[in-house]
Structure 1
Amino acid sequence: MTLTTTASLIGAAYQDGRGVAAFNAINLETVEAIATGAESANRPVIVQISENAVRYHGGLAPLAQAAIAVASGSTMPISLHLDHATDERLVGIAVDLGFSSVMYDASHLPYEDNLTRTAAVARRCHDRGAHIEAELGEVGGKAMDRACRDHGVHAAGVRTDPAEAAAFVASTGVDALAVAVGSSHKMTTRDAALDEALIAKIRRAVDVPLVLHGSSGVSDDGLRAAIAAGMTKINVATQLNKAFTAAVREALETDPALVDQRRYLGAGRDAMAAETARLLTVISSR
């Protein structure tokens, strides 16, 4: 199957009132795990590569080309998305490489600066046929989130305001909006309390799909409730990293003499694939 577009996956889910999963990949093994999990669950998926992963590898092209190859050989529809890009040049590189969507993140800036910069990036993306996601409010767990560090992600000042969200979408022309409703990045426990009433208010105010970042910290029932309240794109990274790392740790502890990377990375890949499939059945209902 050829690589599909994020716009098609999100658009179909949005129209049907269901969720679509977006899972972060860090290396080839994690891309393969996501693709294998999607095939096992018989669900489409969005593979995301973050700016942090790009920095880790020293560039986007190697991992992007590997992800395109894996997605193109999959039996399920898979799209490729650039996640949390703050570097506008990286957005252009991603589109050049074949990414059908990007998330440009200027949420750490004052509202007017976020709006102005996002609108400019959105125009360039649309000129090249790319789908763009932005963020309004501050989802905790990012190093740049000063307000979240000082006050916590549950403080009213960092939540997304519905009226402001509507104005932001109208002014920037973005295709999807990530909103702050109580989740936080990098959570290793799944006890985040989402504001479902706020999700519903934002959904009524905004005419583009909503995106939940920090979904690893949300329980299965919480994810289902968030989708029912109006979320469409559900981003997961840490929960999958937990599964991968736990399996690698177990393999190395079971056999302290183990040096063949394929054996412990393979264990991690298999565990992540299983958790990918499980989460897909929670997020992407039929």
Structure 2
Amino acid sequence: MPLVPTRELVSKAAAAGRAVAAFNVITLEHAEAITAGASAAGSPVILQISENAVRFHGGRVAPIARAAAEVARACDIDVALHLDHVTDMRLLRTAADAGFSSAMFDAGAQPYADNLAATRAAVEWAHGAGVWLEAELGYVGGKPDAPASAHAAGVRTDPREAASYVADTGVDALAVAVGSSHAMTDRSASLDHELIERLREAVPVPLVLHGSSGVGDEELRRAVRAGIVKINIGTALNIAFTRAVRETLAANPDLTDPRPYLARGREAMAETVRLLLGVVSG
């Protein structure tokens, strides 16, 4: 099937009172696992490639983006391609040509005025190129570029400030700080659901939850009911992949062919995707 614009998947989810999940792609196996899990769940999905993943691939976005797009086209469900956590405007400007229908421009660690100015410039470029743009206001924990905890005073997204920010920048979606944290390896995050509801009432664009691997199933369900529309998941896949690879190698210490352990890792990620989609898209 052809790629579907992220805007379309997010709009449909919002209209139905559900969320669409966006899973991080690092390798070809990630893309294959995500689409396999989404197909098994019968749910649309967003493949997202971060600036860090591009850096891992030598700074070249096209090879991994095109590989993910080809995997998506072979899938029997709707799939969108999203460029995530971009801080470099030069990378952002490659988005449309690389096949992305959307991007997240991340100036969240900057002071408010700087974030506003940088994001406004990013939106101006993106809309001129036909790219749907997400941005972040507040501090979602777990990123190395800001020292504050996700639970420190003053880091969560303020609804009044968020309304002004969206109006002044023209962003299409807003990632909000409501208690989640990137790179968590347990699912113990506690979200501020009342704040999510206030943000939903104040902000006219879809709300996005980053750091969702650290959020338990019921917390995710409540977040969707409160107003979250796009849910980003990355670390959960890497945990499943790495565990399966370690188990395979431990059981087969003489194994040198990477295909058996990569296959097990891919299967584990696909099952993780299927289960999480049942939570956020059901």
Query: Given the two structures, how large is their TM-score scaled by the length of structure 2?
Result: 0.99
The alpha-carbon deviation at position 201 of structure 1 amounts to: 0.5
In structure 2, what is the Cα distance between the partners aligned to 1:77 and 1:25?
A: 16
Aligned to 1:159: 156
Aligned to 1:127: 128
Q: In the alignment, does 2:191 pair up with 1:190?
A: no
Give SS of 1:189's match: coil
Aligned to 2:178: 181
Aligned to 1:220: 217
Q: In the alignment, does 2:281 pair up with 1:284?
A: yes
The alpha-carbon deviation at position 242 of structure 1 amounts to: 0.6
Aligned to 1:17: 17
Give SS of 1:74's match: coil
Aligned to 2:95: 94
Please tell me the residue identity of whatever aligns with 1:13.
A
In structure 2, what is the Cα distance between the partners aligned to 1:260 and 1:145?
A: 41
The alpha-carbon deviation at position 162 of structure 1 amounts to: 0.3
The alpha-carbon deviation at position 156 of structure 1 amounts to: 2.4
Aligned to 2:243: 246
In structure 2, what is the Cα distance between the partners aligned to 1:183 and 1:104?
A: 19
Aligned to 2:106: 105
Q: Provide structure 1 residue ranges, at least 5 long, that are not aligned to the other structure.
A: none
The alpha-carbon deviation at position 192 of structure 1 amounts to: 0.3
Q: In the alignment, does 2:270 pair up with 1:273?
A: yes
Deviations 1:153-184, CA, capped at 9 Å, x for gaps: 11121100000000000000000000000000
Deviations 1:189-239, CA, capped at 9 Å, x for gaps: 100010000000011000000000000000000000000011000000001
Deviations 1:66-118, CA, capped at 9 Å, x for gaps: 00100111101000001100001101112211100000000111101101110
Query: Given the two structures, how large is their TM-score scaled by the length of structure 1?
Result: 0.97
Q: Please state which structure has a larger fraction of its residues in helix.
A: 1
In structure 2, what is the Cα distance between the partners aligned to 1:236 and 1:29?
A: 16
The alpha-carbon deviation at position 15 of structure 1 amounts to: 1.7
Give SS of 1:259's match: coil
Aligned to 2:72: 71
The alpha-carbon deviation at position 240 of structure 1 amounts to: 1.0
In structure 2, what is the Cα distance between the partners aligned to 1:254 and 1:145?
A: 41
Aligned to 1:32: 32
Aligned to 2:43: 43
Give SS of 1:156's match: coil
Please tell me the residue identity of whatever aligns with 2:86.
A
In structure 2, what is the Cα distance between the partners aligned to 1:111 and 1:17?
A: 31
Deviations 1:251-274, CA, capped at 9 Å, x for gaps: 000100011111001100001001
Aligned to 2:53: 53
Runs of 4+ off more than 2 Å: none
Give SS of 1:97's match: coil
In structure 2, what is the Cα distance between the partners aligned to 1:196 and 1:96?
A: 38
- The CA RMSD over aligned residues, in Å, is 0.7
Please tell me the residue identity of whatever aligns with 1:139.
V
In structure 2, what is the Cα distance between the partners aligned to 1:204 and 1:274?
A: 35
In structure 2, what is the Cα distance between the partners aligned to 1:80 and 1:235?
A: 13
Give SS of 1:61's match: helix
In structure 2, what is the Cα distance between the partners aligned to 1:275 and 1:217?
A: 14
In structure 2, what is the Cα distance between the partners aligned to 1:31 and 1:94?
A: 18
Give SS of 1:109's match: coil
In structure 2, what is the Cα distance between the partners aligned to 1:197 and 1:155?
A: 17
The alpha-carbon deviation at position 17 of structure 1 amounts to: 1.6
In structure 2, what is the Cα distance between the partners aligned to 1:35 and 1:145?
A: 33
Identical amino acids, percent of aligned pairs:
58
The alpha-carbon deviation at position 123 of structure 1 amounts to: 1.1
